[in-house]
Chains A and B, each alone.
Chain A
Amino acid sequence: MRGIIRVKELPVLTLCVGLFIFFALRAPNFTDPFGILDDIRQYAAYAILAVGLTLIIGSGGIDISVGSVLGFSTILMGVILSKSAASLPLACLAAVAGGTAWGAFNGLAVARLRLQPVVVTLSTMAAARGIAYVMAGQGISSIKLPPRADWLAGVCYASPAPVVLAMLVAVAGWLALSSTPFGRRILAIGSNEEAARLSGIDVGRMKFLVYAITGVLAGVAGVMTAGMMSTAQTDAGLGYEFEAITAVLIGGTSIVGGEATVLGSVLGVLAAALLNRGFGLMGISDLWRMMFLGVTLIASVLLDRLRKYVALRSIKAQRA
């Protein structure tokens, strides 16, 4: 049982439970299950992004363009639906394809051109957002989705579907990372890229895949966001990358690569959702929520170090 301290999701799970208990006592109506579902549904898009980011960060990379790619997909869908007679499924598919294209672009630049991930994704972050603005048209901040998209809006807004989808994506990500050769290779690359390459892993292909997969996920998140808002917003997804990365890091995934947990990332998003709900119900300013998020990020990494230190000490003690 002492081994529990070795579990890397422990801090974030403790955080979630702690937040839940604190707010259940202090925030009115916090435990209303319907309300909690509503709030979690709002964070489903973050969760989907977080799964992709977990894979990327696990492989030693990073992707700060996910928010802009989400926005691009949303606007692409909005433009297709409003300017053509294309059916809803087709528009959704196009949006996901758009996200995939950006992801593939990131992947090629990182894998084939050997450019640094933060630099590549910094440029795609600007470019994807910029092209979204251009596609939307001069002075257009949002495109209202036409009536044939009402089905999507209904599903995204009124049913648990977004949450279910996020959970499916999370389970798929968890399985891929923990039980497939693909996952093992990703983590090997993150641990020691040279050793991974020498042991025969096609590093380029693996890296390309994680960025491309994240692109797909960003496209899906874009469709979901458009559905939830009933509108395609040019600023959709703005800032999502930093909040999603924060959730992933709070969850226990290591920024240097080699150690990743999808479960942790999802719990990190859950913590963010609970925090948002709790502060909102208590009427505390959103600025304090930002402050708390920053402190939590720093504290969680420090605590993770502490945890590793204690775990190492206990192993040494056992061996002595």
Chain B
Amino acid sequence: MSKRIVAACAILLALTITFGGCGKPKEQAANTKGKRTIVFVFKLVGIPYSNACQKGADQAAKELGVNVEFLGPAKGGDVAGQVRMIENQISRGVDAIVISPNDPNSVKPVIEKAARRGIKVFTWDSDAPDTKRIFYVAAADDVGIGEDIMDRLAKDVGGKGKIGIMSGSQGALNLNQHVDGVLKALKKYPNIELAKPILNNNDQPQLAQSGMAGLLQRYPDLAGIACVSSPGPPGAARAAIAAGKAGKVKIWGLSLPSENRQYLKDGTVNGLILWDPAKLTFLTAKLVNDYLDGRKPADGMEVKGIGKLKVSKDGIIIMPGVVITKENVDQFDF
């Protein structure tokens, strides 16, 4: 008897919840104490890069006087989790959602839903082209960064030799695009050949180090390596040092200055290409806020503390990035 009561309650609960949703969406109540709310949904939380972005978001909240929040799934590469979070923000009825999607295609439906409800959607750090996002702010496009890394590496190895590539994992779109960029630029240098296999370090330092060590075994005369995942350059540096090849193998990559400080200074890592995630996030919040006030971004506009912005017709806004070498590494605190 009791079991039936419990079962009946459960079924009733489930039915109410499910089919209650077949009605029209309620008027979105503002929940945000009347203040404008901009929510950033990043790829994940709990890594130094996302922490740096959050700093930028917090600073924007202070300076602009609006609510700026920063969220992301706990796990990396959690496409479904990210979509769920965006759904939640749509439910809240926030004013603007800014996304750095784990996968650009997966967020297309949810962006459309947000647009239908009158919420403005933007992207930053990684784009979702071909969706209803209003504009995209980045420090370079993902493929372009890869090309840049390759060009600088090519210069340091003198235009010839074998170079390797280290990525994080196959499931990360932005990393794949960086690698595509490296491969694209590689074609420009007929005397440089790719040292296969392309390594995956799963965004973990141990695999970065052992992967590079293995590659150095396979190619003792390896000229350089392009690392597009953050633990890559320091791990590769350690492997180079252990193999006695520090300085002989040139290392360029995408990584945080704080993780590479000593290696940049002693020359094991030649340079990093990055941008300040806090500045990027702050800039995006500011541009979004301006947009909500009716001010659209214009090509060539100057922003204090950041520089000149390039704005393209399909809404791609590029802020100047930064090349980090031993000369300027101490200027950065991330």
Which residues of A line the B interface, CB within 8 A? 1, 3-4, 6-7, 9-10, 13, 16-17, 20, 28-29, 32-40, 42, 45, 133, 136, 138-142, 144-145, 153, 157-158, 160, 163-164, 167, 225, 228-231, 233-236, 238-239, 263, 266-267, 270, 276-277, 280-281, 283, 285-287, 289-290
Contact = CB atoms under 8 A, between A and B. Distances in A.
B7 interface: yes
In the A-B complex, the 9 residue pairs with the smallest Cβ-Cβ separation, listed nearest first, are A37-B21, A28-B31, A280-B88, A33-B20, A35-B91, A235-B171, A231-B105, A4-B2, A229-B106
Given A35-B91, A233-B103, A7 B176 contact: no
B14 A35 contact: no
Given A32-B91, A37-B18, 19 more contacts: A3-B3, A7-B6, A20-B13, A28-B29, A29-B26, A34-B21, A34-B26, A35-B88, A37-B22, A39-B84, A42-B80, A139-B170, A141-B103, A142-B103, A164-B18, A229-B83, A285-B45, A286-B45, A286-B72
Contacts of A157: 109
Contacts of B69: 283
Interface string B31-65: 11000000000000110000000000000000000
B40 to A, nearest CB: 11
B2 A281 contact: no
Interface of A is mostly: helix
B186 to A, nearest CB: 14
Contacts of B106: 142, 229-231, 233
A37 B20 contact: yes
B22 A160 contact: yes
A45 B7 CA distance: 22
B245 interface: no
B198 interface: yes
B274 interface: no
Contact of B18 (A160, A235, A263, A287): A160
Nearest to A17: B13
9 contacts: A10-B6, A13-B9, A36-B21, A229-B80, A233-B103, A238-B75, A263-B7, A267-B10, A287-B74
A1 to B, nearest CB: 7
A28 B92 contact: yes
Given A230-B109, A234-B171, A140 B176 contact: yes
Query: By CB atoms of chain A within 10 A, which of B5, B81, B90, B109 has the most?
Result: B109
Given A287-B46, A290-B74, A1 B2 contact: yes
A160 B10 contact: no
Contact of B74 (A20, A160, A235, A286): A286
Interface residues of B, number: 62
A133 B87 CA distance: 28
A67 B230 CA distance: 27
Interface in B139-179: 167, 170-173, 175-176, 179
B85 A280 contact: yes
A235 B200 CA distance: 15
Contacts of B1: 3
A39 B6 contact: no
Contacts of A4: 2, 5-6
B110 to A, nearest CB: 8
A28 B109 CA distance: 23
B103 to A, nearest CB: 5
Contacts of A283: 69, 71
Contacts of B173: 141-142
A286 B23 contact: no
A276 B84 contact: yes
Given A144-B105, A235-B171, A286 B73 contact: yes
Contact of A281 (B23, B72, B91): B91
Contacts of B25: 32, 34-35
A33 B21 contact: yes
B38 to A, nearest CB: 12
B88 A277 contact: yes
A28 B18 CA distance: 19
A289 B72 CA distance: 12
A4 B80 CA distance: 37
A6 B26 contact: no
A6 B4 CA distance: 12
Given A160-B21, A280-B88, A142 B105 contact: yes
Contacts of B75: 238-239
B191 interface: no
B235 interface: no
A281 B32 CA distance: 11
Given A29-B91, A29-B92, A233-B106, A286 B21 contact: no
A230 B93 CA distance: 24
A199 to B, nearest CB: 26
Given A139-B176, A287-B46, A32 B84 contact: no
Contacts of B2: 1, 3-4, 6-7
A234 B31 contact: no
Contacts of A276: 84, 88
A283 B14 CA distance: 25
B179 A13 contact: no
A5 to B, nearest CB: 8
A239 B109 CA distance: 23
A136 to B, nearest CB: 7
A40 B87 contact: no
A171 to B, nearest CB: 9
Contact of B26 (A32, A266, A286): A32
Contacts of B179: 139
B10 A33 contact: no
Interface in B168-209: 170-173, 175-176, 179-180, 198
A281 B19 CA distance: 21
